[in-house]
Structure 1
Amino acid sequence: MVDIPRNTVTNQTEEIVNHEQFEDMRDLLEEDFADLIQVYMTDSQQRVASLRIAQQENDNTNGFEIAHALKGASANLGTTQLVNLSSQLQKLCCEHRISEQTALIEDIAVALQRAEQEINQRLGQ
């Protein structure tokens, strides 16, 4: 078995939110942007909870789908760490290894918290 190195959220060289992507989305959506952020945060928190359940149930198929959805939503906002961590989890689900990914899922949860903090700072909240 080959271990894929985890890209831990303590990696200080990786940006939490890509400024350009974030601002492009804000400019595109204008007054609807705040609603998008709220939906993204709520959905992402639910997805992390669902990932924990999929991991406990060794459900690689569901884990893959949830990680894929989280990656896509995160890519739209430029939440770089979440994109990278979700991509790693997708690959591991393809290898039927979700049952071993408690730490990676917790890294995803922490990355979501950090993204929320940074987004709130950018929005002046």
Structure 2
Amino acid sequence: MNQCTAVALLPPPDHVVRLAAPGHLPEAGYVLCELGDDHEEDHASLLWDDDANREGIWVRWNGAGARLAGLAWCPAIDARSEDACGLFAGHPSAHDWDVLDPTLEAVAAVVDGWPPDTAAPRPDPLDGA
């Protein structure tokens, strides 16, 4: 399953702006949804690990706004690799090992073909191929 393509531009929190040095205000930043593209609930992106509380700090957003949430980790383990799911407990959609970032997949396809077959015709980069 492909990763959701939702993107949000989030302003820095007010308390961070108040702590900033004069003339050096923090900038807004983009977050990308990390869930599978078939989810129907809020979008979600991990901001940082909170090791002290054994959870992740996630930003959840929808058309009405965004909020930060400390969420426990999904307890699922991939039987093939023994890796833990990197999403939050109770997440909608598939576990992270079944969610493919289409951009990374496209890059991997190009890298897998490197070095290029020098006998093959070269595509014109201007025609979008």
TM range (shorter): under 0.3
Higher normalized contact order (CA 8 Å, seq sep 6+, divided by chain length): 1
Higher-Rg member (1/2): 2
Q: TM-score, normalised by structure 2?
A: 0.23
Q: TM-score, normalised by structure 1?
A: 0.23
Larger helix proportion of the pair: 1
